Structure 1
Amino acid sequence: MTELTGTVALVTGASSGIGAATARDLAARGAAVALLDRKSGV
């Protein structure tokens, strides 16, 4: 798994599905993750 400490990721569609899984994976690898979605409460 590639270490992403020091990087910033912007994930759209982050409330569910592939977007949510991608956000969790990026965060687990050390990236600072910004989440966006049309649904409120993300």
Structure 2
Amino acid sequence: MADLAGKVVVVTAAAQGIGKASALAFAKAGAVVHATDINETLLAELAKTPGIKARKLDVLNDEAVN
């Protein structure tokens, strides 16, 4: 992956699976990653990774997104 230093990436459904793998890859490439998911427990673990900031967010909830 290209050098993403200085870039910001938002990853939804980031607590597990493809979302988690994407968040980790972006962080490894130097991006600041804002990871969101509805699973706070798994997000807390992911947030221990340098470069990843995690926040609970239900993208199906219009009020939470706006």
Give the TM interval when normalised to the shorter protein.
over 0.9
- Which structure has the bigger radius of gyration? 2
> Sequence identity of aligned pairs in percent?
40
The answer for the alignment partner of 1:18 in structure 2 is: 18
Q: Looking at both structures, which has the greater relative contact order when contacts are Cα pairs under 8 Å and sequence separation is at least 6?
A: 1
Count of residues in Structure 1 that have an aligned counterpart in Structure 2: 42
The answer for the alignment partner of 1:4 in structure 2 is: 4
Specify which structure has the higher proportion of helix: 2
Q: Match for 1:17: what amino acid?
A: G
Residue 40 (structure 1) shift: 1.2
Q: Structure 2: any 5+ residue segments left out of the alignment?
A: 44-66
Which consecutive aligned stretches of 4+ in structure 1 deviate over 3 angstroms post-superposition?
Answer: none
Question: Deviation string for 1:11-35 (max 9, x for gaps)?
Answer: 0001100000000000000000011
Q: Match for 2:17: what amino acid?
A: G
